[in-house]
A and B are shown apart, each in its own frame.
Chain A
Amino acid sequence: EAGVAQSPRYKIIEKRQSVAFWCNPISGHATLYWYQQILGQGPKLLIQFQNNGVVDDSQLPKDRFSAERLKGVDSTLKIQPAKLEDSAVYLCASSSRLAGNTIYFGEGSWLTVV
Protein backbone atom coordinates (compact mmCIF):
# COMPACT_ATOMS: atom_id res chain seq x y z
CA GLU A 1 0.00 0.00 0.00
CA ALA A 2 1.40 3.38 -0.98
CA GLY A 3 1.91 5.85 1.84
CA VAL A 4 1.23 9.55 2.07
CA ALA A 5 3.12 11.37 -0.67
CA GLN A 6 4.38 14.91 -0.28
CA SER A 7 6.28 17.31 -2.49
CA PRO A 8 8.57 19.10 -2.63
CA ARG A 9 10.75 17.51 0.04
CA TYR A 10 12.88 20.61 0.50
CA LYS A 11 12.31 24.26 -0.26
CA ILE A 12 14.33 27.38 0.49
CA ILE A 13 12.68 30.75 -0.10
CA GLU A 14 13.23 34.32 0.91
CA LYS A 15 10.88 36.01 3.36
CA ARG A 16 7.82 37.56 1.75
CA GLN A 17 7.91 35.00 -1.06
CA SER A 18 5.24 32.36 -1.48
CA VAL A 19 5.43 28.57 -1.42
CA ALA A 20 3.03 25.71 -1.99
CA PHE A 21 3.16 22.13 -0.74
CA TRP A 22 1.28 19.22 -2.22
CA CYS A 23 -0.03 16.10 -0.54
CA ASN A 24 -1.56 12.90 -1.85
CA PRO A 25 -3.05 10.86 1.02
CA ILE A 26 -3.40 7.12 1.27
CA SER A 27 -6.06 5.93 -1.14
CA GLY A 28 -9.50 5.91 0.43
CA HIS A 29 -8.57 7.99 3.47
CA ALA A 30 -11.28 10.57 4.03
CA THR A 31 -9.44 12.59 6.66
CA LEU A 32 -6.40 14.65 5.73
CA TYR A 33 -4.25 16.71 8.07
CA TRP A 34 -1.55 19.32 7.70
CA TYR A 35 0.80 19.65 10.65
CA GLN A 36 3.62 22.11 11.23
CA GLN A 37 6.65 20.80 13.09
CA ILE A 38 9.24 23.31 14.25
CA LEU A 39 12.65 21.87 15.08
CA GLY A 40 12.66 20.32 18.54
CA GLN A 41 8.90 20.40 18.94
CA GLY A 42 5.99 18.08 18.38
CA PRO A 43 3.76 18.44 15.33
CA LYS A 44 1.09 21.12 15.60
CA LEU A 45 -2.16 20.70 13.70
CA LEU A 46 -2.75 23.47 11.17
CA ILE A 47 -5.83 22.19 9.37
CA GLN A 48 -7.91 19.03 9.17
CA PHE A 49 -10.17 18.03 6.28
CA GLN A 50 -12.95 15.47 6.21
CA ASN A 51 -13.31 14.71 2.50
CA ASN A 52 -13.28 18.22 0.96
CA GLY A 53 -14.63 20.05 4.00
CA VAL A 54 -12.62 21.74 6.75
CA VAL A 55 -13.35 20.40 10.25
CA ASP A 56 -10.62 22.26 12.15
CA ASP A 57 -8.47 25.20 11.10
CA SER A 58 -8.32 26.91 14.48
CA GLN A 59 -4.52 27.04 14.51
CA LEU A 60 -4.03 28.03 10.89
CA PRO A 61 -2.62 31.59 10.52
CA LYS A 62 -5.24 32.55 7.99
CA ASP A 63 -3.64 35.86 7.10
CA ARG A 64 -0.85 34.00 5.34
CA PHE A 65 -1.67 30.29 5.22
CA SER A 66 -4.32 28.66 3.08
CA ALA A 67 -5.16 25.09 2.24
CA GLU A 68 -7.59 23.34 -0.01
CA ARG A 69 -8.75 19.85 -0.86
CA LEU A 70 -11.07 20.55 -3.72
CA LYS A 71 -11.91 17.01 -4.86
CA GLY A 72 -11.54 15.36 -1.49
CA VAL A 73 -8.28 13.63 -2.41
CA ASP A 74 -5.11 15.70 -2.96
CA SER A 75 -4.44 18.80 -0.94
CA THR A 76 -2.25 21.87 -1.22
CA LEU A 77 -0.98 24.12 1.56
CA LYS A 78 0.14 27.61 0.60
CA ILE A 79 2.06 30.22 2.52
CA GLN A 80 2.03 33.79 1.23
CA PRO A 81 3.93 35.85 2.26
CA ALA A 82 6.37 33.67 4.17
CA LYS A 83 8.01 34.80 7.39
CA LEU A 84 11.24 33.60 8.98
CA GLU A 85 9.27 31.83 11.72
CA ASP A 86 7.53 29.69 9.11
CA SER A 87 10.73 27.65 8.78
CA ALA A 88 9.59 24.17 9.74
CA VAL A 89 8.66 20.77 8.43
CA TYR A 90 5.14 20.60 7.02
CA LEU A 91 3.72 17.15 7.54
CA CYS A 92 0.73 15.83 5.70
CA ALA A 93 -1.15 12.90 7.19
CA SER A 94 -4.29 10.92 6.53
CA SER A 95 -6.59 8.54 8.31
CA SER A 96 -9.67 6.47 7.74
CA ARG A 97 -12.38 5.38 10.14
CA LEU A 98 -12.40 2.02 8.34
CA ALA A 99 -8.69 1.62 9.17
CA GLY A 100 -9.13 2.33 12.86
CA ASN A 101 -8.44 6.07 12.59
CA THR A 102 -4.68 5.54 12.80
CA ILE A 103 -2.98 8.64 11.41
CA TYR A 104 -0.32 7.92 8.80
CA PHE A 105 2.25 10.62 8.05
CA GLY A 106 4.19 11.52 4.97
CA GLU A 107 7.93 12.25 5.05
CA GLY A 108 7.28 15.98 5.27
CA SER A 109 8.23 19.07 3.29
CA TRP A 110 11.14 20.95 4.81
CA LEU A 111 10.83 24.72 4.48
CA THR A 112 13.61 27.18 5.19
CA VAL A 113 12.78 30.88 4.99
CA VAL A 114 15.81 33.14 4.75
Chain B
Amino acid sequence: GESVGLHLPTLSVQEGDNSIINCAYSNSASDYFIWYKQESGKGPQFIIDIRSNMDKRQGQRVTVLLNKTVKHLSLQIAATQPGDSAVYFCAENRAGGYQKVTFGTGTKLQVIP
Protein backbone atom coordinates (compact mmCIF):
# COMPACT_ATOMS: atom_id res chain seq x y z
CA GLY B 1 0.00 0.00 0.00
CA GLU B 2 0.98 3.64 -0.09
CA SER B 3 3.28 4.66 2.69
CA VAL B 4 5.91 7.08 3.78
CA GLY B 5 8.51 5.38 5.93
CA LEU B 6 11.84 6.03 7.56
CA HIS B 7 14.91 3.80 7.61
CA LEU B 8 16.13 4.53 11.16
CA PRO B 9 14.01 5.23 14.22
CA THR B 10 16.85 6.86 16.24
CA LEU B 11 19.96 8.72 15.12
CA SER B 12 22.72 9.83 17.50
CA VAL B 13 25.11 12.49 16.24
CA GLN B 14 28.02 14.32 17.83
CA GLU B 15 27.54 18.06 18.16
CA GLY B 16 29.13 19.80 15.20
CA ASP B 17 28.86 16.82 12.89
CA ASN B 18 26.48 16.63 9.97
CA SER B 19 23.24 14.64 10.28
CA ILE B 20 21.49 12.75 7.54
CA ILE B 21 17.94 11.55 8.03
CA ASN B 22 16.48 9.28 5.37
CA CYS B 23 12.96 8.59 4.22
CA ALA B 24 11.42 6.24 1.66
CA TYR B 25 8.13 6.83 -0.07
CA SER B 26 6.06 4.60 -2.30
CA ASN B 27 3.64 6.90 -4.14
CA SER B 28 5.29 8.20 -7.30
CA ALA B 29 2.33 10.56 -7.84
CA SER B 30 3.23 12.72 -4.85
CA ASP B 31 3.36 16.41 -5.65
CA TYR B 32 5.90 17.50 -3.08
CA PHE B 33 7.62 16.43 0.09
CA ILE B 34 8.02 18.17 3.39
CA TRP B 35 10.25 17.77 6.42
CA TYR B 36 8.92 18.65 9.84
CA LYS B 37 10.70 18.93 13.17
CA GLN B 38 8.82 18.10 16.35
CA GLU B 39 10.29 18.99 19.72
CA SER B 40 9.00 17.35 22.86
CA GLY B 41 5.59 18.66 23.84
CA LYS B 42 5.16 20.76 20.72
CA GLY B 43 3.46 20.50 17.39
CA PRO B 44 5.41 19.71 14.21
CA GLN B 45 7.27 22.67 12.75
CA PHE B 46 7.87 23.09 9.02
CA ILE B 47 11.56 22.92 8.07
CA ILE B 48 11.81 22.68 4.32
CA ASP B 49 9.96 21.26 1.37
CA ILE B 50 10.82 20.17 -2.14
CA ARG B 51 8.75 19.86 -5.29
CA SER B 52 8.74 16.65 -7.27
CA ASN B 53 10.36 18.45 -10.23
CA MET B 54 13.45 19.25 -8.14
CA ASP B 55 16.20 17.02 -6.76
CA LYS B 56 17.80 19.36 -4.25
CA ARG B 57 16.83 22.32 -2.17
CA GLN B 58 18.86 24.19 0.42
CA GLY B 59 17.85 26.20 3.42
CA GLN B 60 19.70 27.55 6.39
CA ARG B 61 21.92 24.64 7.55
CA VAL B 62 19.50 22.15 5.97
CA THR B 63 19.44 20.49 2.59
CA VAL B 64 16.79 18.17 1.23
CA LEU B 65 17.61 15.70 -1.52
CA LEU B 66 15.01 13.90 -3.58
CA ASN B 67 15.78 10.80 -5.63
CA LYS B 68 12.66 9.94 -7.57
CA THR B 69 14.28 6.92 -9.22
CA VAL B 70 14.51 5.04 -5.93
CA LYS B 71 11.75 7.05 -4.18
CA HIS B 72 14.08 8.30 -1.49
CA LEU B 73 14.19 11.56 0.40
CA SER B 74 16.85 12.79 2.79
CA LEU B 75 17.34 15.70 5.15
CA GLN B 76 20.87 16.86 5.79
CA ILE B 77 21.60 19.10 8.77
CA ALA B 78 24.99 20.78 8.77
CA ALA B 79 26.93 21.37 11.98
CA THR B 80 24.30 19.74 14.18
CA GLN B 81 23.52 21.62 17.37
CA PRO B 82 21.86 20.52 20.63
CA GLY B 83 18.79 22.50 19.60
CA ASP B 84 18.39 20.17 16.64
CA SER B 85 17.46 17.32 18.97
CA ALA B 86 13.90 16.39 18.05
CA VAL B 87 11.84 13.94 16.05
CA TYR B 88 11.95 14.56 12.33
CA PHE B 89 9.09 13.56 10.06
CA CYS B 90 8.99 13.39 6.32
CA ALA B 91 5.62 13.86 4.73
CA GLU B 92 4.30 13.58 1.22
CA ASN B 93 1.65 15.71 -0.37
CA ARG B 94 -0.48 13.91 -2.90
CA ALA B 95 -2.15 16.48 -5.09
CA GLY B 96 -5.43 15.83 -6.81
CA GLY B 97 -8.32 18.14 -6.10
CA TYR B 98 -7.02 19.07 -2.67
CA GLN B 99 -3.73 18.59 -0.95
CA LYS B 100 -3.38 15.59 1.32
CA VAL B 101 -0.32 15.34 3.51
CA THR B 102 0.66 11.94 4.89
CA PHE B 103 3.31 11.64 7.60
CA GLY B 104 5.89 8.93 8.12
CA THR B 105 6.76 7.39 11.49
CA GLY B 106 9.59 9.76 12.37
CA THR B 107 13.28 9.64 13.27
CA LYS B 108 14.50 10.78 16.66
CA LEU B 109 17.70 12.80 16.40
CA GLN B 110 19.84 12.86 19.53
CA VAL B 111 22.71 15.32 19.56
CA ILE B 112 25.59 14.35 21.84
CA PRO B 113 27.34 17.40 23.35
Interface of A toward B, CB cutoff 8 Å: 4, 31, 33, 35, 41-45, 48, 50, 55-56, 91, 93, 95, 101-108
Contact = CB atoms under 8 A, between A and B. Distances in A.
A55 B49 CA distance: 23
A41 B100 contact: no
Contact of A45 (B42, B44, B102): B102
A93 B103 CA distance: 14
B103 A56 contact: no
Contact of A105 (B43, B99, B100, B104): B43
B46 A45 contact: no
B30 interface: no
A48 B100 contact: yes
Given A91-B43, A91-B44, A107-B43, A41 B105 contact: yes
A105 B101 contact: no
A44 B46 contact: no
Nearest to B49: A102
Given A41-B106, A42-B105, A102-B49, A108 B43 contact: yes
Given A4-B43, A93-B43, 10 more contacts: A45-B100, A55-B98, A56-B98, A101-B93, A102-B46, A103-B46, A103-B101, A104-B46, A108-B42, A108-B43
9 contacts: A35-B103, A41-B106, A45-B102, A55-B98, A91-B44, A102-B34, A102-B46, A103-B46, A104-B46
A48 B93 CA distance: 14
B58 interface: no
Contact of A43 (B45, B97, B103): B103
B25 interface: no
Nearest to B90: A42
B103 A105 contact: no
